[in-house]
Amino acid sequence: MFWSTERPYKKGDSPEPVAILPALLLETVALRWSDAFIPTLRDDPADAEAASHRLLVRAGFVRQLMSGVYSLLPLGFRVMQKVEKIIREEMNHIGGQEFLLPTMHPGELWKKSGRWDSVGLEMFRLKDRRGSDVALGMTHEEVFTHLAGELRSYKQLPQIWYQFQTKFRDEARPKSGVLRVREFTMKDSYSLNVDTDGLDTAFGHHFDAYRRIFRRLGFEATAVEASSGVMGGSESVEFMLRTTAGEDWIASCAACGYAANLEKATSTLPAVASEGDSAELEKFPTPGVRTIEDLVSFEGGGTAADRQIKTLVYKADGQTLLVLLRGDHSLAEQKLLDQIEAQEIRPASEAETRAALSASPGSLGAVGAENCIIVVEESLRGQCNMVTGANEDDFHLRGVDVERDIEARAWMDLREVKAGEACPLCGAELAVEKSLEVGHIFKLGTHYSELLGAKVLDENGTPCPIVMGSYGIGLGRAMAAVVESSFDDAGIIWPMNVAPFEVVISVLNPKDVKVSETAEHLYESLQGSGIDVIIDDRDERPGVKFKDAELVGIPYRLTVGPKGLKNGVIEFVRRANGESREIAVEHAAQTAAEAVFEERF
């Protein structure tokens, strides 16, 4: 179980963060807005739903080239460089060694791991001019494991290897700007150990490093139990940002800290008593009934949803698979995929369903079903006098005793947890919230090393497969997550660590000699102090400059204008809260620099 609290450091257990002098944290850049390519837009893009999508486009950080593929413009590239720098520093602090591996992989490696066939259409596949199969890498477990095959002895372990590299994934429905794309940059790292104790240590180091990374990016991420999916392995943890822009849902308990993706979450249900002793099976007509709700309100005598058996039909490697749940429950499909050992699992077509059960959806059931694999959700265990489809259109069966009348191959936790159900650890109510995955760490074990032959000799001279972990953070998604966690009606509010510029000097009436000279002096002073500064020297109205500065999200603004200079002051504005104050001209550069240094970490 993982809780959303950071584990404390122990000496010798995990490298402590290295102190970084504020002035040395970032490579400083000075730029004139009049020379820069910052194509801000007045209106939101028509297809944008997520805040990060509309703001990153409007503020001139990204542009779409085609579906799921984006260009990073200069501002976006600067933010990504800073995100990458933070991640690199934290990976180096836990002993990581940086690689750069190819994006084009020989199909043979993926065939050895079994993922050439198990990964679906999401993988870009092609043939070279020699007819050899080639894949564009959606992840790099196979290639790193191939390189790990050069290790010979346990004395060469442990190792942590990482890279920043482009990945490709042929998403069926790219959406939400850079949140779900077909080409993206990822930091992926891999731990190599001689045993599971070493893997546990490496996993803990990455867990703590990820906590620090997200804090430095400016948001708190919740660590949750997760499904390992196509990655395989024994355990995985996702780091989630609570936001309506997310596509995942997490169940969490405020009382004890339990948290899990709905693909993995469990809860404690109140007992549902069966209605009397087991009765005889009875078939009865249900004309027009096609759904659970139809049967609840059926005029001939409705049946509550929790007294119905829902029957879902799947095909698993060509075999018919019946999945049974209580009528008021929904299937968490990833739970099914994780527990059924099959290369391909998919919903059956209407024709396949009728061929297997001689009925259409709405009248399906598992009683008397032949040549089918039947798996039953645990909440149906011990239930009798249930109602299910009779496998004849417009007919149902009542009096069903699940264990008596249905030949279950297996009982499984398959249902999706709902808000308000009891926490499995402490019994308090669970909340269910929409969230965005910003990082994922996996305990792979020996899955890939055994398949690809990455072994070392242990201290007894016996060959043993390397025990591996895999750890990923998408850089573009991290940039978007920062925006999702920090914006307002006027635009983006960048945290200092990742802001494209830390200070903007807005020059009002740049043709005024005194105004221009004062702004230039400020510009040079801030640049000399190691501040990322941009001077807005455009011949534009003050309102245009202020709106652009707020939209782009630069943390501090210094406004130099004739009116203020008459009084010997410059306006100093903090973007995060709109706080404005006047400061003496001679103290402006120092005040701004100190404010920046206070917020860097």
Band (342; pLDDT cuts 50, 70, 90): confident
Smallest CA-to-CA distance from 448 within 470, 473, 428 is with 470
What residues contact 198, with CB distance under 8 A and at least 6 apart? Answer: 157, 158, 191, 467
Band (493; pLDDT cuts 50, 70, 90): very high
Place of tokens 């032959």: 453
Give strand pairing partners of 167: 184
Measure the N-to-C terminal CA separation of the chain; round to a whole number of Å: 30
Please give the pLDDT value at position 343: 79
Smallest CA-to-CA distance from 596 within 560, 556, 569, 559 is with 556
Q: At what angle do helices 74-93 and 196-217 cross, to 10 degrees?
A: 140
- Lowest pLDDT segment from 95-99, 242-246, 269-273, 293-297: 269-273
Please give the pLDDT value at position 180: 92
Peptide bond into 542 cis (omega under 30): no
Supply the DSSP symbol for 378.
G
For residues 72-91, average pLDDT = 98
In contact, 430 and 267? CB cutoff 8 Å: yes
For residues 358-380, average pLDDT = 95
Give the tokens for residue 71. Answer: 């260009």
User: CATH for 501-599, among 3.40.50.800, 3.90.79.10, 3.40.640.10, 2.40.50.140?
Assistant: 3.40.50.800
Please give the pLDDT value at position 277: 72
For residues 338-358, average pLDDT = 92
For residues 444-465, average pLDDT = 96
Per-residue model confidence as pLDDT tens digits over 499-557: 999 999 999 999 999 999 999 999 999 999 999 999 999 999 999 999 999 999 999 99
C-alpha distances out from residue 529 to 19, 247, 558, Å: 19, 42, 16
Place of tokens 């005889």: 280
Euclidean distance between CA atoms 284 and 290, whole angstroms: 15
Q: At what angle do helices 475-485 and 74-93 cross, to 10 degrees?
A: 110
In contact, 250 and 225? CB cutoff 8 Å: no
530 conformational bin, left if phi > 0, alpha if psi -120 to 50, beta if neither: left
Band (302; pLDDT cuts 50, 70, 90): confident
Per-residue model confidence as pLDDT tens digits over 557-567: 999 999 999 99
Q: What is the dihedral of CA 536, 539, 545, 551, to 10 degrees?
A: -80
In contact, 107 and 133? CB cutoff 8 Å: yes
Please give the pLDDT value at position 233: 61
Per-residue model confidence as pLDDT tens digits over 443-452: 999 999 999 9
In contact, 527 and 587? CB cutoff 8 Å: no
Give the tokens for residue 504. Answer: 């903007």
Per-residue model confidence as pLDDT tens digits over 117-171: 989 899 999 999 999 999 999 999 999 999 999 999 999 999 999 999 999 999 9
Please give the pLDDT value at position 17: 41
Band (231; pLDDT cuts 50, 70, 90): low
Smallest CA-to-CA distance from 259 within 286, 235, 240, 285 is with 240
Would you say residue 19 has pLDDT above 90? Answer: no
In contact, 308 and 386? CB cutoff 8 Å: yes
C-alpha distances out from residue 232 to 103, 226, 314, 341, Å: 21, 12, 22, 12
Euclidean distance between CA atoms 354 and 323, whole angstroms: 16
In contact, 224 and 238? CB cutoff 8 Å: yes
In contact, 312 and 323? CB cutoff 8 Å: yes
The domain defined by 282-412 carries CATH number 3.90.960.10: yes
For residues 315-327, average pLDDT = 95
Mean pLDDT value across the chain: 92
**E-strand spans in 243-308?**
248-252, 259-261, 282-285
Please give the pLDDT value at position 230: 57
Would you say residue 1 has pLDDT above 70? Answer: no
Please give the pLDDT value at position 118: 87
Domain ranges in the chain? 22-30+38-265+432-485, 282-412, 501-599
230 conformational bin, left if phi > 0, alpha if psi -120 to 50, beta if neither: alpha
Euclidean distance between CA atoms 566 and 563, whole angstroms: 5
Give the tokens for residue 101. Answer: 């591996």
What residues contact 181, with CB distance under 8 A and at least 6 apart? Answer: 68, 69, 70, 169, 171, 174, 476
Please give the pLDDT value at position 25: 42
Would you say residue 271 has pLDDT above 80? Answer: no
Which superfamily does 22-30+38-265+432-485 belong to? Bira Bifunctional Protein; Domain 2 (3.30.930.10)
Band (274; pLDDT cuts 50, 70, 90): low
The model carries a pTM of 0.87
